[in-house]
Amino acid sequence: MRVTLAEEIMLLSLDDESGQAKDRWTVGWIVAGGLLLELALAERVRVDDNRVEVVDTSSTGDALLDDRLEAIAAWAGSARAATVAAWLRKDQLKSIEATLAGLCARGIVTEERHRALGLFPVRRFPEADGTVERELRERLNRVVLEDAEPDLRTAGLIGLLHGARLHRLAFPGEPRKRVEPRMAAVAEGQWAAEAVQDTIRATQVAIMAATAAASAAAAAAAVS
């Protein structure tokens, strides 16, 4: 089953037992980045000097990607500063919802709703079909732990995870010092066209800046 990069990131973040997303705030940014990268790989958008440009509005054949392409096209045409960071900030929550809906529609996860303490609505997304995630983790293991040559999409996925410092999502049982150097080498390798590399670099910078800002705000709040 072909799934998008964003859906792969979402699968890695969902706890198989609880159905809850780990590192949800950061994951939202790289899910949105994964959709942007997928559209860049499909030659529907490009990043030029950190600005998002739509170059082709024709269907990709994937409902999730087509929906985000339409949203990007509408936004980029009216935004004063159509930067990668501005788009990720705007779209992260919608990207998560759209990606979870896609996983449910494919029968990979199921949605469960209940109320915590009888009051607060809680949504869980336990895994219904573990085949996709198992094959994904095997593919990542071959590239990172066994030094296999990555294909274009796997290299892009590793680049996003490395840029967001989410090594533990893909390799929860491995020490960072074992996986980080290989992930860095894949992320920095010349495996794609410059336009695609620009998309990943801009996404990484946006995530790091947002994370730094959130950490600074938390530290300021603690002091006050």
pLDDT at 223: 56
The 3-state secondary structure of the chain, one letter per residue: CCCCHHHHHHHHHECCCCCCECCHHHHHHHHHHHHHHHHHHCCCEEEECCEEEECCCCCCCCHHHHHHHHHHHHHHCCCCCCEHHHHHHHHHHHHHHHHHHHHHHCCCECCEEEEECCCEEEEECCECCCHHHHHHHHHHHHHHCCCCCCCHHHHHHHHHHHHCCCHHHHCCCCCHHHHHHHHHHHHHCCCCCHHHHHHHHHHHHHHHHHHHHHHHHHHHHHHC
The mean pLDDT value of the chain amounts to 85
**Per-residue pLDDT reduced to its tens digit, 104-130:** 999 999 988 876 666 667 788 888 889
Q: What percent of the chain has pLDDT above 90?
A: 45
Amino acid of residue 137: R
**Per-residue pLDDT reduced to its tens digit, 34-62:** 999 899 889 999 888 888 899 999 999 99
Q: Evaluate if residue 68 carries a pLDDT over 90.
A: yes
Tokens of 158: 């590793």
Q: Evaluate if residue 138 carries a pLDDT over 90.
A: yes
**Per-residue pLDDT reduced to its tens digit, 150-204:** 998 899 899 889 888 889 999 998 999 999 999 999 988 776 667 677 777 777 7
> Mean pLDDT over residues 128-148, rounded?
94
pLDDT band, very low/low/confident/very high, at 23 (cuts 50, 70, 90): confident
Query: What global pTM score does this model have?
Result: 0.86
Q: Which residue has the tokens 């999409």?
A: 153
